[in-house]
């Protein structure tokens, strides 16, 4: 069955391939024909009205290649109509960001001629993904060739095929020229400058650009902490009384840092047209399952799952499992302290270079164990959250984030809290914090940068070698690119990236007053993180679909919660300092009450500051209000025109208006 491209003409297609669609290699022919017809069919017939062709790969090393790989594209007209359907915002002639409409296309900046280049590749691929995801079943009871693979009217066909393993994957193709330009301006030359966030957004979309914007902002925000921390560390820092001033600065910094970021993210989101964009109706997850029922919101017959059953799974299985993991984390922590005391005793009996090095061994081992436990727990948390059977992807992500954050926070910081407030050993706290931070950063760089880079280089060499052996000197750009990208790792989103920054923020905001170099180490880590993450996005992972984003989502709440904990922690550390205790030599109760009172005052100051500093800058608020006013006026004008047209029609008779005029104003009689 040859549906499009052959080996000889694979690099010459009638359209620009934007998305790769890979079905299982044993997919039934009637199912493939049915799906392709639905993708190509007109919109009024329930199709996606997209262009699709088949890629035929040559056999290699007695291995039969997957014949069911397709490339999907679209006409420019279809993409422009799709931009209106998905609610893309573009810059209007007056400089405001407005929802794109095809009727007013010439009133938008950068729309020239027929609109070529008006939409970025990422936006085009997002539109195609939207059209594929909203390709709905009509009257089919099952997928052709699969009597047991039931279809429900109004349900997404692609999500159904994906959940049942018929559709292996679909992903956007890289644009080689754009990727080369982005790579050069982003990470190929070392320079002290801001990241090209607009170019990143143009190529990867707003969600990923916001992550790199946050990474850049966090790194620059740490510079004052680092500059103050260096002299604190170098000059007479063995006197631990001096950390009180640094703790006070830490309190103010952790509050202002997040409030200013909200304004920065609002500015970025407005410039990218996502701040005022309406949230799209969320379709069920591909893995969601349940008995067939009636959805009162959509009015469709579709799988439903009782909320009570999900709650039982959460509270009777997931919560006890998380508590068990937390208990294991505490148990491992106590084993670590036993090792620590053992190393200290050996050093006290025989102080030497070897035994002084031995003092750091328990912390290093514990840091490695923490990373392994975090990794294993992550897999378990994903399995449990999937088993809970959440209907929406946002609900799935929120429950997963909550599980992972609780465990990671306890696993990474419980030992530091124990040393600080139970043992009250500031020397050991400083040593443990330094060891945990440095070891975790080294492990993260190995796992996130060097290992993926090495594996991808091996994979690339194998693919290029196979293609050269098969085709000789003849190059097949499209076939070779698709073959290479189908074997790349899938980027699973910014979850792990934000989690790493969350933990680093914890190390800096909670206990950095006893180890001022923490901010310096995090700055160095984040500088390398920018380059390693940029390389991974460009050359290690498949290109992810663009996802509109207004802010960093649930992670904003996570960072704010950490900053509140930081207020309590730093106030407690100030209260434990000998310098402060000297003022209350006979009354610990009075000291505790004063520390608690100061903590409440600082928390109140924090919340007042959050209220006083607007999340959205004033000029953006004005532009948003102006847009809302213009939309309301346009609605009133249209309503008035409709009423006038109906009145004239009644006075002059219904046949006095041409049918085109009646259709334009929605006149039905």
- Exposure of 443 by Cβ count < 10 A (0-12 exposed, 13-18 middle, 19+ buried)? middle
- Exposure of 467 by Cβ count < 10 A (0-12 exposed, 13-18 middle, 19+ buried)? buried
Which run of H or of E encompasses 150? strand 146-150
190 three-class SS? coil
Q: Give the pLDDT score at 140.
A: 81
Task: Report how far residue 644's alpha carbon sits from residue 624's, in angstroms, rounded to the nearest whole number.
Answer: 30
Strands (E), 389-464: none
Q: Give the pLDDT score at 237.
A: 54
User: Dihedral angle at the C-alpha atoms of 623, 624, 629, 630, nearest 10 degrees?
Assistant: 70
Which run of H or of E encompasses 596? helix 588-612
Task: Report how far residue 277's alpha carbon sits from residue 169's, in angstroms, rounded to the nearest whole number.
Answer: 28
Task: Report how far residue 32's alpha carbon sits from residue 37's, in angstroms, rounded to the nearest whole number.
Answer: 8
**What are the mean pLDDT values of the chain's consecutive 10-residue runs (669 residues total)?**
39 73 89 91 87 80 77 91 88 82 86 85 91 85 86 81 88 90 82 81 92 93 87 65 70 83 90 76 69 66 80 91 93 90 84 81 87 90 89 84 91 90 85 87 77 69 60 61 84 88 91 83 90 86 88 89 88 79 76 84 82 81 76 69 67 55 49
Beta bridge mates, 19: 72, 172
Q: Give the pLDDT score at 604.
A: 85
Q: What are the phi and psi torsion angles at 590 (to 5°)?
A: -60, -40
Q: Give the pLDDT score at 134.
A: 85
Report CA torsion sign: 648, 651, 657, 661.
Answer: positive
Closest Cα partner for 369 from 281, 436, 311? 436
Q: Give the pLDDT score at 6.
A: 40
Which run of H or of E encompasses 23? strand 19-23
Q: Give the pLDDT score at 20.
A: 92
- Exposure of 655 by Cβ count < 10 A (0-12 exposed, 13-18 middle, 19+ buried)? exposed
Closest Cα partner for 91 from 73, 76, 105? 105
Question: Which residues have a Cβ under 8 Å from the Cβ of 177 and sit 6 or more positions away?
Answer: none
Q: What are the phi and psi torsion angles at 89 (to 5°)?
A: -100, 135
Tokens of 211: 């992550």
Tokens of 21: 């669609």
User: ∠256-251-228 over CA atoms, to 5°?
Assistant: 90
Task: Report how far residue 535's alpha carbon sits from residue 532's, in angstroms, rounded to the nearest whole number.
Answer: 5
Report pLDDT digits (tens) over 87-106. Answer: 888 888 877 788 888 888 88
Report pLDDT digits (tens) over 166-178. Answer: 899 999 999 888 9
Question: Which residues have a Cβ under 8 Å from the Cβ of 312 and sit 6 or more positions away?
Answer: none
Q: What is the mean pLDDT of the chain?
A: 81
* Pairing, β 19-23 against β 51-55: unpaired
Report CA torsion sign: 33, 34, 38, 44.
Answer: positive
DSSP label at residue 38: H
Task: Report how far residue 238's alpha carbon sits from residue 240's, in angstroms, rounded to the nearest whole number.
Answer: 6
Asked if 545 and 487 count as a contact pair (C-beta separation under 8 A), the reply is no
Closest Cα partner for 218 from 553, 506, 638? 506
Tally of CA atoms within 13 A in the half-sphere of 46 that contains its CB: 14
């Amino acid at each position: 069955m040859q549906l499009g491209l052959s080996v000889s003409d694979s690099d010459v297609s009638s359209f620009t391939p934007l998305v790769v669609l890979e079905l299982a290699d044993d997919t039934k022919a009637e199912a493939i024909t049915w799906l392709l017809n639905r993708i190509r069919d007109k919109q009024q017939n329930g199709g996606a009205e997209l262009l699709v062709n088949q890629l035929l790969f040559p056999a290699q090393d007695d291995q039969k290649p997957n014949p069911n790989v397709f490339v999907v594209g679209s006409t420019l007209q279809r993409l422009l109509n799709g931009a209106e359907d998905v609610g893309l915002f573009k810059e209007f002639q007056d400089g405001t960001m407005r929802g794109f409409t095809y009727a007013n296309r010439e009133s938008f900046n950068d729309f020239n001629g027929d609109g070529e280049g008006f939409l970025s590749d990422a936006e085009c691929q997002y539109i195609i993904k939207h059209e594929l995801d909203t390709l709905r079943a009509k009257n089919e009871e099952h997928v052709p060739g699969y009597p047991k693979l039931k279809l429900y009217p109004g349900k997404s066909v692609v999500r159904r095929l994906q959940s049942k393993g018929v559709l292996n994957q679909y992903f956007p193709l890289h644009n080689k020229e754009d990727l080369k330009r982005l790579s050069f301006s982003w990470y190929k030359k070392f320079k002290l400058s801001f990241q090209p966030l607009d170019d990143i957004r143009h190529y990867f979309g707003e969600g990923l650009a916001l992550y790199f914007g946050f990474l850049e902002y966090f790194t620059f925000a740490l510079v004052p902490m680092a500059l103050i921390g260096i002299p604190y560390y170098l000059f007479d820092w063995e006197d631990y009384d001096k950390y009180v001033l640094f703790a006070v600065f830490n309190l103010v910094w952790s509050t202002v840092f997040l409030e200013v970021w909200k304004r920065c993210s609002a500015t970025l989101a407005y410039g990218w047209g996502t701040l005022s964009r309406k949230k799209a109706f969320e379709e069920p997850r591909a893995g969601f399952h349940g008995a067939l029922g009636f959805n009162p919101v959509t009015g469709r017959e579709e799988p439903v799952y009782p909320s009570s059953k999900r709650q039982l799974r959460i509270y009777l299985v997931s919560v006890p499992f998380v508590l068990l993991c937390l208990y294991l984390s505490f148990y491992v922590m106590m084993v670590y302290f036993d090792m620590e005391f053992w190393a200290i005793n050996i050093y006290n009996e025989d102080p030497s270079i070897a035994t002084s090095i031995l003092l750091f061994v328990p912390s290093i081992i514990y840091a490695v164990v923490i990373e392994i436990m975090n990794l294993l727990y992550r897999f378990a948390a994903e399995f449990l959250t999937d088993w809970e059977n959440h209907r929406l992807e946002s609900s799935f992500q929120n429950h997963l984030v909550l599980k992972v954050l609780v465990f990671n926070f306890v696993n990474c910081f419980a030992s530091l809290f124990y040393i600080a407030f139970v043992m009250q050993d500031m020397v050991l706290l400083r040593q443990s914090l330094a060891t945990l931070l440095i070891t975790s950063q080294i492990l993260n760089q190995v796992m996130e940068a060097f290992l993926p880079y090495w594996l991808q280089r091996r994979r690339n060499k194998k693919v290029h070698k196979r293609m050269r052996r098969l085709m000789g000197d003849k190059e097949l750009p499209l076939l070779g690119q698709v073959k290479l990208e189908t074997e790349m790792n899938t980027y699973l989103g910014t979850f792990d990236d934000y989690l790493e920054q969350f933990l680093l923020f914890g190390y800096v905001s909670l206990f950095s007053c006893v180890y001022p170099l923490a901010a310096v180490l995090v700055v160095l880590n984040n500088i390398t993180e920018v380059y390693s993450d940029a390389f991974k996005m460009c050359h290690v992972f498949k290109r992810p679909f663009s996802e509109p984003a207004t802010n960093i989502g649930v992670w904003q709440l996570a960072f704010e919660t950490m900053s509140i904990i930081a207020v309590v922690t730093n106030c407690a550390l100030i209260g434990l300092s000998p310098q402060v205790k000297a003022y209350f030599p006979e009354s610990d109760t009075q000291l505790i009450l004063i520390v608690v009172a100061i903590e409440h005052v600082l928390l109140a100051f924090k919340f007042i500051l959050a209220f006083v500093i607007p999340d959205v800058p004033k000029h953006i608020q004005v532009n948003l209000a102006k847009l809302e006013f213009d939309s309301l006026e346009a609605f009133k004008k249209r309503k008035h025109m409709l009423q006038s047209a109906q009145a004239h029609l009644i006075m002059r008779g219904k046949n006095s208006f041409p049918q085109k005029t009646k259709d334009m104003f929605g006149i039905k009689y």
